[in-house]
Amino acid sequence: MSMPMLGEKFPELEVQTTHGAMKLPGDLKGKWTVLFSHPADFTPVCTTEFVSFQKHIDEFDALGCQLVGLSVDQVFSHIKWMEWIKEKLDVEITFPIIAGNDKIAEALGMLHPAKGSNTVRAVFIIDPEGVTRTILYYPQEIGRNISEIVRAVKALQKSDAEGVATPANWPQNELVGDHVIIPPATDEKTAKERLENYECFDWWFCHKPQ
C-alpha cells in the first residue's frame, strides 16, 4: 500500500468529479483543501458525514478551504446520491465528489485489504502549495468528527502564520486554555529570554495568548 507522505507534494492525479474534470493538486493550488474518501454511496454513515461536511461548509469557507469528496463509485452514482440527500434530507451538497478507481485509491493508500474492497475513510489536508499536511484514516464503521477536521485546518494555519504549535484540544486545552505553544529554545541565551518574555512551566514549555 502506497500513500502520500506528510510534507510531500500530493500525488498528481487526473480525476472526474461531479463538477467536471479536475487535476490534483494543480487545480487546488492557492487554497487549503480537505480531500476525504468514503467507502460507498448510499450508505448510512457516509450520508451522515456528507451532511455534516455540508453543514460545516461556512466554517471551511471562512478558512479559505475547499472540500472534495471521493469514493470508487462512478459519477452517475454520486449525482443520484446527492439528489437523494437533497430530496430526502433537504441538504444540497455543493462541493465536488471524485469518481475514483482502484488506481487512484491505491495511490492514496485508501484500500486496506483486511478491511474489504471499499475505500477506508481517509482525510488529507492539503495546503495552498499542494503539500500534504495532515492525514487521517478511519475504519468504515466509524464516522468522522468534522469539527476536528475544521480545528486541524485552523491549527495548521495558525502554526504557519505565527511559527507556533497548538496544544492538545486547542483552543480548549486543559493546561494553557486557548494559548499557543512557543517552540523550544535552541541555545542558553534564548532559553533565558523565553522565561522572561512568555508564560512558562519551564524554558522548554512556554506559551502565549493566540
Known catalytic residues are 46
Q: Structural domain of residue 188, as residue ranges?
A: 163-210
Spatial distance between the Cα atoms of 111 and 102, rounded to a whole number of angstroms = 8
Residue-wise pLDDT tens digits, 65-109:
999 999 888 999 999 999 999 999 999 999 999 998 777 877 787
- Same domain (yes/no): 115, 168: no
Q: Of 38-52, 92-106, 135-149, which range is least confident?
A: 92-106
CATH number at residue 107: 3.40.30.10
Spatial distance between the Cα atoms of 116 and 133, rounded to a whole number of angstroms = 27
In order of 19, 45, 52, 124, 160, the CA distances from 145 in angstroms are: 25, 12, 9, 14, 23
- Same domain (yes/no): 94, 196: no
Q: Of 24-28, 48-52, 54-58, which range is least confident?
A: 24-28
Spatial distance between the Cα atoms of 115 and 5, rounded to a whole number of angstroms = 21
Spatial distance between the Cα atoms of 25 and 88, rounded to a whole number of angstroms = 33
- Same domain (yes/no): 191, 133: no
Hey, what's the torsion of the CAs at 53, 55, 58, 60, to 10 degrees? -20
- Same domain (yes/no): 49, 98: yes
- Same domain (yes/no): 21, 115: yes
- Same domain (yes/no): 167, 140: no
